[in-house]
Chains A and B, each alone.
Chain A
Amino acid sequence: MTKDSIILLYGSYARGDADSVSDIDVLVVSSIKPQDDEISKLLPTSYKGILHTSHYTWKEFSVMSSYGSLFLHHIAAEAKILGFGGDALNHLNHLLSELPSYQLAKRDLSSFRITVNDVTIGLEIGLPPCFELAVLGGVARHASVLGCYIMGKPTYGRKSISQAAELFQMSAAIKDLELAHKFRLYEEGQCEIPSEVSLTDVTRTVQIVSTFLDRIEEAIYADAA
């Protein structure tokens, strides 16, 4: 481990709610990304998921902290230290202690909307509905994390979807949003294909996610006002 590096565990294993499809989420902040086998040595042998490592340089991490990155809020809320060198822990604590509120919510919402519109294009040219549903599942998850944060109830795990749907009075849509997210997990190789999916299913989910984004947008503008 280099002198400027810190390695953190976050996500379901850090929260203690990992299940059979959970991956092992690790954040490394350092000038050089370590090999996965070096990281694996720091993990308990009982951890069985796929290792997903995010690596940022300190410069990138500092930029992220300047706009109050939601990911850094996530780290500040639940990460556990696996190892560090030199002064890296103090540096991390300093950046996280000065973390402002998230500044890019409107931009994210705009990106989510463009991405949902792109799904319609994908369907029109005959791309597999399962792929387009996975794209919607990604938007649903990311929008949920943003929505929970905006509503002052930050939630970063898979439960963020149901939590956000309830916060935005869309409980009836939880099943569809969670199914879309399961396709996202399938795309990432974390589970088998959840079910057959039709064009109609995806079109319905486009409408649901669009409504979900409308509700989050209202909250963002209300919060800004």
Chain B
Amino acid sequence: MPTLHDCLGLIASTKVAARDTESAYVLRSRLKRSLLAVSQLAAEHAGISGPLMPEDIEKIRSTEPTSAKILEICLSLLGKTRSLCQPSEALDARWQSGWETVRSDLTVLEHELRLIVTTPHEDVVQV
């Protein structure tokens, strides 16, 4: 199960990929991996089963506020990934124009993730 440190590392590597204007393919898979890891951590924090695939995030419901907020952001980012990516081709130009909104959400996600450390739920948090 990914730790907070792992999740922050994945988000950082996603941001690194975004600096390269020709890396839409890498960016797409890194973002999906980040969302999967983060949602698994959030689910663990809430004491519920995490997703196996990024597309499963929308099936997860948490009543624990921090986890619920994190899952909501992940779901929103997944939706943005779908709209930025075509089934046919990861188009660099579209990522370049859409990246700012994704980066903003990732920054919020990083902030919310750090709250997991300060709001332990039961005793299932691994940091």
Whether B65 is near chain A, meaning CB under 8 Å from some CB there, is: no
**What A residues does B117 contact at CB under 8 A?**
none
B71 to chain A, nearest CB (A): 17
- B109 within 8 A of partner (CB): no
Band of interface residues on B: 20 to 34
In residues 86-123 of chain A, which contact B (Cβ within 8 Å)? 107-108, 111-112, 114-115, 118, 121-122
Q: Is the interface of A mostly helix, strand, loop or mixed?
A: helix
User: Would B86 and A128 count as touching, CB distance under 8 A?
Assistant: no
**Helix, strand, loop or mixed for chain B's interface?**
helix
Q: Do A69 and B36 have beta carbons less than 8 Å apart?
A: no
- Contact indicator B87/A25 (Cβ below 8 Å): yes
Does chain B have a CB within 8 A of A71?
Answer: yes
- On whether the beta carbons of A187 and B26 are closer than 8 Å, the reply is no
Q: Give the chain A neighbours of B10 by CB distance below 8 A.
A: 121, 125
Q: B113 to chain A: closest CB distance in Å? A: 14
Partner of B30, one of A53, A63, A118: A118
Task: Tell me whether A127 and B2 are in contact in the complex, defined as CB-CB below 8 angstroms, given that A27-B88, A115-B29 are known contacts.
Answer: yes
B55 lies within 8 A of chain A by Cβ: yes
Query: Is the pair A131, B54 in contact by a Cβ cutoff of 8 Å?
Result: yes
